[in-house]
């Protein structure tokens, strides 16, 4: 074997061993974080709602958030998470026997699938039936999307996590909505919108 061929083989062996070491050292999470985050322009078009208390008594099913995919890559339902922050209300325990809380609210849609959500979520969002949220399509979120058991919508109010996973949004306050890619755990888009009192 010539010296040059020996050096080449040694170099190839070193590269292969380095690749194996990288695969062993870096976890799946680390490798997935190296994937590119989808690029999409997402905007909150309109929010209407209110609280189930004096003076307006707006029901949770009357709270709607309209979010539109304005352009860019289609987003996969299983890899897209929505987080909503603002002022609102939720029930601790089971409605109507629970306790109504108002204050700082945190809402998480852990994915955009129909499973784990109220039936009306699927009827409101037939545009998602192909498994993708694509350009021009409007996503409709509702205060009753969450279900008490096996829900993929989670609601926390003033730090209370034992809620019925339903929500109302306080009228005339600003709500922040963030869209995340689950695989890379990175932010895709962020938008803010004022809540208009539901009529």
Predicted confidence (pLDDT) per residue in 15-73, tens digit: 655 555 444 445 555 554 567 889 999 999 999 999 999 999 999 999 999 999 999 99
Asked whether residue 152 carries a pLDDT value surpassing 70, the answer given is yes
- pTM value is 0.82
C-alpha to C-alpha distances, 148 to 65, 80, 115, 164, 184, nearest whole angstrom: 20, 22, 13, 5, 29
What CA–CA distance (Å, rounded) separates 65 from 37?
24
Residues of the chain above pLDDT 70, percent: 82
Model confidence over 156-177: pLDDT tens digits?
999 999 999 999 999 999 999 9
Give the span between the Cα atoms of 13 and 180, in whole angstroms: 40
Residue with structure tokens 């209370």?
160
SS (H, E, C) 112-173: CCCCCCCHHHHHHCHHHCCCEECCCCEEEEECCCCCCCCCCEEEEECCECCECCCCEECCCC
- Specify the pLDDT at position 24: 46
For residue 44 the two structure tokens come to 């909150």
Per-residue model confidence as pLDDT tens digits over 69-93 = 999 999 999 999 999 999 999 999 8
Picking from 101, 107, 104, 91, the residue whose alpha carbon sits closest to that of residue 178 is 107
Q: Is the pLDDT of residue 134 over 90?
A: yes
Neighbours of 140 (CB within 10 A): 17
Per-residue confidence at 6, pLDDT binned at 50, 70, 90?
A: low
80 pairs with which residues across the strands?
181
- Coil, helix or strand at residue 183: coil
Instruction: Tell me whether the omega of the peptide bond preceding residue 128 falls within 30 degrees of 0, making it cis.
Output: no
């Amino acid at each position: 074997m010539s010296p040059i061929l020996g050096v080449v083989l040694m170099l190839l062996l070193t590269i292969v061993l380095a690749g194996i070491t990288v695969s062993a050292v870096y976890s799946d999470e680390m490798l997935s974080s190296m994937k590119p985050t989808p690029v999409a322009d997402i905007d909150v078009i309109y929010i209407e709602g209110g609280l189930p208390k004096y003076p307006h008594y707006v029901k949770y099913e009357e709270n709607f958030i309209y979010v539109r995919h304005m352009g860019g890559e289609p987003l996969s339902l299983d890899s897209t998470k929505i987080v909503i922050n603002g002022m609102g209300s939720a029930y601790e325990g089971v409605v109507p026997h629970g306790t109504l809380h108002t204050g700082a609210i945190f809402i998480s849609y852990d994915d955009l699938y129909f499973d784990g959500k109220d039936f009306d979520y699927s009827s409101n969002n037939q545009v998602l039936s192909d498994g993708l949220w694509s350009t021009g399509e409007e996503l409709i979120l509702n205060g009753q999307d969450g279900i008490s058991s096996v829900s993929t919508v989670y609601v926390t109010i003033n730090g209370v996590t034992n809620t019925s996973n339903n929500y109302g949004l306080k009228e005339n306050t600003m709500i922040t909505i963030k869209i995340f890619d689950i695989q890379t755990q990175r932010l895709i888009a962020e938008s803010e919108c004022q809540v208009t009192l539901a009529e």
